[in-house]
Amino acid sequence: MKRLNRLFTWGCCTAIAISVSTHSFAAGPLAIRAGKLIPINGEPIENAIILIEDGKIVQVGTDIEIPVEARVIDASKQVVMPGFVDSHNPSGMSQANERNSNVPFLSVVDSIDPQLDYFEDCRRNGITTAAVVPGNSTMIGGRAAVVKTAGQYVNDMLLRRDSGLKISLQPVGSSRMSHIARLRAELDTAKRAMEEEAESEKEPKSEAPSPSDSAKSGPAGGPAPEKPADGETPAAAAATPPPTAEESKEGLLVMQQLLKGEMPAYIYCETAMDVGQALRLIDDYKIKSILILGRDCYKAADLLAARKQTVILDPTLVFWETDPQTREDKQVIIPQILIKAGVPFVFQTDNSGIRQTLGSGFLWYQAATSVKYGMPRDEALRSLTLTSAELLGVDSFVGSIEPGKDADLVILSGDPLSANTWVETTLVAGEEVYKRSEDQKLKRLLEEPLE
Amino acid sequence: MNLLTHRRLATCLATIFSLTSLLSISNQQANAATTDVYLAGAAYVGQGQVITNVAMVVREGRIVTIGPRSEVTLPSGATIHDLGSVTLAPGLVIAETNLADRGVDEDEALTPFIRAIDGFDFFGDYDSLLATGITTVQVSPGRARLMPGQGAVVKLGGEDPQQQSLNASESLRILLTEEAFNPPRIYKPPVGAVSVDRPLEPTQPQLANNLGDAVIGLRALMIARAAEDAQSDLVLGTLNEVLNAGKQLRITARSAGELAAAHRIAEEFQVPYLLVGADEVVSASQSIPWSGDLLRGVVLAGKSGAASLTNQPVPKPNETPISEPWERAAALIKAGAKDKLAITVPNSELTDIWYLAGNFLAAGLEPHEVLSMLTAIPARLLSVDSRVGSLAEGKDADFLVLSGKPFAPSTRVLETYIDGKQVYQRPQSAKSKVIRAATIHGADGKTMDGEIVVQDKVIRGVGSSVSFPSDAEISEFPGAVVVPGFIDMATRVGTGTDLNDRVGLNDRLGRLLVSDDDQVAMARQGGVTTGLLSSSGLPSPVVAFKLGNIPRVLQDPVAIRYSISGNLTSEEAKLKATLAAGQKYAETWVTYDQAYAAYQKQLAEYEQAKAKYDAAIEEQKKKAEAEKQKAEAEANAKPATGAPSGDAPKPDAPKPDAPKPDAPKPDAPKPDAPKPDAPKPDAPKPDAAKPDDSKPDAAKSDESKPAEALVEPKKPEEPKKPNVTDALEPYRLLFAKKIVAIVEVGDGLAVDLAVKLFVDEFKLRTILAASGTAYRQASALSDKQVSVVLSPPLDTVDDGQPVSVAQQFLAAGVPVTIESRAGTGAVNLTSAIGFSVYRGLGGRDALAGLTSVPAAQLSLASVGSIKEGNDADFVVLSGEPFHAGTRVLAVMIDGDWVYKADDKEGAQ
């Protein structure tokens, strides 16, 4: 209870701090002297200056005159790089998964809570942009959004609404084949409705909506007119409760957006066989997609390599596997396998269970692990920032330090992939949203125990 | 072997030449390099006759040609694989399995839209099936619902899922069997709280409760699918989609009724169908037109549980007994469905399919016909025959290499190929190892060059032209010298701790040895492969063991170790008493053993005599009986004179018979031994006292009544076994000279005392662990034929002069062995001895002292020299043994490399 109180107090403090900073610094220009600047889109620059105005980067270089009125952050002994981008994380919302397995009509925007610890941790760890994506246990889990990790209200944070529709190939409570069959049925329904709409547009008639309605209600579980005599229901989606008419209409619209290529799908593949399924779905329905891989998907590395598409890796990058026949243990190093196969990838962090103090809970650690196993350094740093931003379709705003982009920066005490390095300051849109010197939680964590 | 290499080399060169020539012509031609030619003894092509002496050309995963070698023109530049006398066969095609999601069922009974291919894991582990030769399988959805979904046909190996999937929608599955009846009722909970809009509805029943329901339901579905807007319904839409595409129904039906129902539905709606199961096909054979067009085929289940016996009800007189699968096959063949039969077995028994399908030979089929039921026919039934199921031009190169004729009991799948790529190879049994080095120190001090071949932990051959299998693992050590593994006469490693406590002489120290001991691993880096271990509390038993990762006891005990030190007068008295006690104990056992041997002999004789005696008694009884009858007969019928004359010989006959058994015994080879009297005196003589007694009796019996003269032979008495005294048990071995006494002595008087006690008085095989100036007594020792064991340093300084102790002993003719008396220090054994070699000890003598001499002294025949039949224990040295700079490169113990210098460097 006491701890809860304390947490509450911290939460309030942070909120106040943000609101205060919004008022005091937003107006004037800001300059950062960087000991070393890693812009990602170019070579690192020593002793660089970044000029920021209205939350945007205005100028980057070594020969820049700092305006007199500008506030200056001196990071001349430190490293400045773009804020990290978390490409797949359900932690930003209040609950990752729905009980109903088919909820395309939902949007995470309605569930993002800016006060969550997750966002605070993001700022502490240098993450300035995060894709909030529904969890892996819902077949069609709703629409994701890309947000900044600082802000008082969701609308302040939003960078890209409806950035993608989450689809999970991991069956929950049914077999894989029925899972896929149901997913296909949903896509087929949307496709059929779309085709019918297109037809009805061609020859405008008043009775157009009726066939489309029946098409919808059929698979959705309503009794079909041809119902056999003994009262058996041929409905496909019988196991999932039918959504209301409103919801199903909106859901259908979303599915159509997906099929039209207006919105990509975040497809979660639990096992290697799901990768094959995902690729088939992508081909069959011509949908844009971002693949999120489970641990065992490394076996499908060749399939992925043929697509030349950036994938999001499982948080577990290195693990041991026992051969069922020979009983021999073998170490699987996923980055190594994918680099060899030529599959581009970005990382996600492990936020299962107890919050970790070191390891796969940190993006920089994931990158450092990959560098250890053969990933080029600059590529690893790019995957933390610009590659992830590209994947999420927000690279015109964030991901690198160049004029015109948002001033989402992270000031590090040293090398970004070193375990000794601290995030000193995190800036979102030119505002200091995190300072290590003011981080009470970290201080408490690091101070000597009382007893 | 040389020949083999040459041939291989020649093939290689030929390939290279042809390659380069091709390359020079054009780049496109270079693709011909991916052409493979397989030459085999025979090929079962899937359908039709067997081709003998076959050649098959494979390019880019497809079969280009297959035929008799004489008819196939081999493309130039192709890689030729001469497989020898093996048999080629198509990869097996299994017409039904549950490999997709293990046949998990949905709640709904009608789910035609579910596709098994979505549940098949292309990245799964199918090694055991590939090892069986199964390359293509049908995967079925569900197993206990009326219409669980669509089946698919997939390959179990290949490049990518797209390639592997042969037929994504092969059939629509329907089960008319009992397990599909009574599916669960469907319960659809309302979303959120129950209200007027969202009432709690009762559970819904589903199809089907029985066969009748199922047929009615299916008929209703078939009619409904013709409705105008059926397309908008998932079930009916899918049904239309599948059936309009000409896909078949796959109907599982066992009983005659189910089979008939399956046929009725298919015929009514004119849908092609496949029957699976068909147990009661014999009784249903009249009701179905087996040769009709609608029936595509029948998938018969092989007899499962072949290795166990199950009780079956005794068939009633008018009942047909349960038919065996091959009887069903025979019935169907009779009905004209021969080319429609395929075989499957439950998933768990797929790996035994060769045996289970082999049973179908009982239907009067040839092996190639049964094989076609596993290849070509199922491929056709699954509509994948354009790609798999037979070895023919244009087909995928999915084939098997069998060791012999299919279905023969000893035939094994040697290799499995999918799309021309090997996906399985039968592992070779226990590979041989070959060690190549510049010099090998063989037995009897001979050196040679060449190879050592090791198989099953033992040296199979040494020399320059030893034959070894082509798959042997070859270790090359250019310029290296191979010597036998060293025998350390006293080591301190092996148990993980120091053995300082006094142990009982009968303790088995071998039981204290531990596996994977780091100290052992270090000691053997010095080349020690066999060690002798004793406690430092003397006297102690000594165990000889191999320093492998798992220590192997060679002999336990191999010796007893004593020590003579301190006050020699009291030592002498003490030792003498100990040894005397031991000797006495050993002697009582020797006496007993002799007495027991004699007893065994007597016992055998007694048993013979007893048998003879029993026979004699029996004879007497008979005789008495006969005489009695005769007397009666004479008394009763006097006028009949002819009768007594015929009877007369009877009473006489037994008389010579009784002693007869005596006669053949001593000299059996003489069958025509004359009268019983003659052999009798000869026979008993070699025997013990008892037969003597019986002989006079037998002799007497000739004259008077034999019954009284016979004396029963006496059973010999077993000698009394001495009490076993555990602590003295080893002395029996010691005094029998089966093991040696190793006596730690310093020098001077102690040496004399040891010789006096152990050699002169108790006449034991003795090795003296000498030190100091004992070498001065060397000549005295050589007279007594005593050997010595020395520990480094092997030299000393006597009177200001450096002396090589070992060399002094050797000069006097005393065999010298070497002990380290060290733990991990043994790692430097070779360099310590190297110092003595530098001081004048012969390198060869030093080597002998570590190998052949201790082996001889301890009677350990299997170690100590490199010769055929010995244990494969070697040390590979970088140069001549004990030369400065010579390192241990590798150590092998019992055929396993336990140390390799390279590995160690690599690891660090």
B411 or B602, greater pLDDT: B602
pLDDT of A317-349, one tens digit each?
A: 998 888 877 778 889 999 999 999 999 999 998
Do B106 and A219 count as a contact with CB atoms less than 8 A apart?
no
Interface test with A, best of B228, B231, B232, B236 (most A CBs within 10 A): B232
pLDDT of B603-631, one tens digit each?
A: 898 888 888 888 888 888 998 888 888 88
pLDDT of B463-494, one tens digit each?
A: 777 777 666 777 778 788 888 888 888 888 88
The whole model's pTM is what?
0.61
Of B54-68, B658-672, B757-771, give the lowest mean pLDDT range: B658-672
Min Cα distance A239 → chain B (Å) is: 7
DSSP state of B453: E
Do A233 and B221 count as a contact with CB atoms less than 8 A apart?
no
Report chain B's terminal Cα–Cα distance, integer Å.
Answer: 37
Angle made by CA atoms B190, B192, B197, in degrees to the nearest 5: 60
Angle made by CA atoms B821, B826, B832, in degrees to the nearest 5: 90
Query: Torsion over CA of A267, A270, A273 and A278, rounded to 10 degrees?
Result: 0
DSSP state of B711: -
Q: How confident is the model at residue B738 (pLDDT cuts 50, 70, 90)?
A: confident
Q: What's the pLDDT score for residue A173?
A: 79
Give the DSSP per-residue string, B829-886: HHHHHHHHHHTT--HHHHHHHHTHHHHHHTT-TTSSS--TTSB--EEEESSSTT-TT-
Q: What's the pLDDT score for residue B364?
A: 85
A243 or A294, greater pLDDT: A294
Q: What's the pLDDT score for residue B169?
A: 92
Tell me which residue of A324, A290, A323, A321 sits closest to A307, measured CA to CA. A290
Do A181 and B186 count as a contact with CB atoms less than 8 A apart?
no
Q: What's the pLDDT score for residue B851?
A: 87
Chain B residue numbers with beta carbons less than 8 Å from the beta carbon of A246 are none
Is the pLDDT at A246 greater than 80? The verdict is no
pLDDT of A58-72, one tens digit each?
A: 999 998 899 999 999
Min Cα distance A292 → chain B (Å) is: 18
What percent of chain B has a predicted confidence (pLDDT) above 70?
Answer: 85
* Residue-averaged pLDDT of chain B: 80
Q: What's the pLDDT score for residue B421?
A: 92
Do A214 and B229 count as a contact with CB atoms less than 8 A apart?
yes
The Cα A93–Cα A356 span in angstroms is: 19
Q: What's the pLDDT score for residue B93?
A: 95
The Cα A310–Cα A408 span in angstroms is: 23
Q: What's the pLDDT score for residue B661?
A: 44
Is the pLDDT at B456 greater than 80? The verdict is no
B114, B124, B233 member nearest A226 (Cβ):
B233
The Cα B847–Cα B866 span in angstroms is: 13
The Cα B275–Cα B263 span in angstroms is: 9
Q: How confident is the model at residue B392 (pLDDT cuts 50, 70, 90)?
A: very high
> Any residues with CB less than 8 A from the CB of B767 and at least 6 apart, and which?
B489, B559, B740, B741, B742, B743, B786, B787, B788, B789, B817, B857
Q: Using the Cα atoms of residue A436, residue A439, residue A440 and residue A444 in order, give the sign of their dihedral.
A: negative
Do A299 and B123 count as a contact with CB atoms less than 8 A apart?
yes
A133 or B459, greater pLDDT: A133
Q: How confident is the model at residue B226 (pLDDT cuts 50, 70, 90)?
A: confident
Q: How many CB pairs under 8 A join A and B?
A: 137
Q: What's the pLDDT score for residue B679?
A: 43
Chain B: residue nearest A299 by CA? Answer: B123
Question: How far lies B226's CA from each of A142, B206, B214, B223, B243, in Å?
Answer: 37, 22, 19, 6, 11
Tell me which residue of A74, A102, A87, A2 sits closest to A310, measured CA to CA. A87
- Classify strands B134-139 and B92-97 as parallel, antiparallel or unpaired: parallel
Q: What's the pLDDT score for residue B22?
A: 40
B659 or B299, greater pLDDT: B299
Dmax over CA atoms of chain A, in Å, equals 86
Contact present, B559 and B540 (Cβ < 8 Å): no
Q: Does A35 touch chain B (CB under 8 A)?
A: no
Is the pLDDT at A51 greater than 60? The verdict is yes
pLDDT of B137-185, one tens digit each?
A: 999 998 889 999 999 999 999 878 888 999 999 999 999 999 888 888 8
Do B213 and A243 count as a contact with CB atoms less than 8 A apart?
no
Read off the pLDDT of each residue in B748-769 and give the average, rounded to a whole number: 83
Q: Is B13 buried (19+), middle (13-18) or exposed (0-12) by CB count in 10 A?
A: exposed
Q: What's the pLDDT score for residue B103?
A: 62
* Residue-averaged pLDDT of chain A: 83
φ/ψ of A76, rounded to 5, equals -70, -10
The Cα B456–Cα B446 span in angstroms is: 25
Read off the pLDDT of each residue in B635-652 and give the average, rounded to a whole number: 51
Q: Does A187 touch chain B (CB under 8 A)?
A: no
Helices marked H in B362-508: 367-372, 376-381
B149, B217, B233 member nearest A218 (Cβ):
B233
Do B191 and A243 count as a contact with CB atoms less than 8 A apart?
yes
A432 or B836, greater pLDDT: A432
Of A22-26, A143-147, B431-435, give the lowest mean pLDDT range: A22-26
Chain A residue numbers with beta carbons less than 8 Å from the beta carbon of B100 are 177
The Cα B895–Cα A422 span in angstroms is: 56
Q: Using the Cα atoms of residue B201, residue B202, residue B203 and residue B204 in order, give the sign of their dihedral.
A: negative
Contact present, A425 and A432 (Cβ < 8 Å): yes
Tell me which residue of A70, A81, A10 sits closest to A48, measured CA to CA. A81
Contact present, B354 and B44 (Cβ < 8 Å): no
Q: Does B607 touch chain A (CB under 8 A)?
A: no
pLDDT of B539-594, one tens digit each?
A: 888 888 888 877 888 888 888 888 887 778 888 888 888 888 888 888 888 888 88
* Preceding omega of B679 cis (within 30 degrees of 0): no
Name the most confidently modeled range: A253-257, B647-651, B662-666.
Answer: A253-257
Residue with tokens 């037998």: B698
Of A236-240, A399-403, A409-413, B414-418, give the lowest mean pLDDT range: A236-240
DSSP state of B818: E
Contact present, B488 and B826 (Cβ < 8 Å): yes
Q: Does B108 touch chain A (CB under 8 A)?
A: yes
Interface test with B, best of A105, A169, A177, A274 (most B CBs within 10 A): A177
Buried b (16+ CB within 10 A) or exposed e, B576-590: eebbeebbebbebbe
The Cα B455–Cα B474 span in angstroms is: 12
φ/ψ of A386, rounded to 5, equals -70, -40
Q: What's the pLDDT score for residue B423?
A: 92
The Cα A422–Cα A364 span in angstroms is: 11
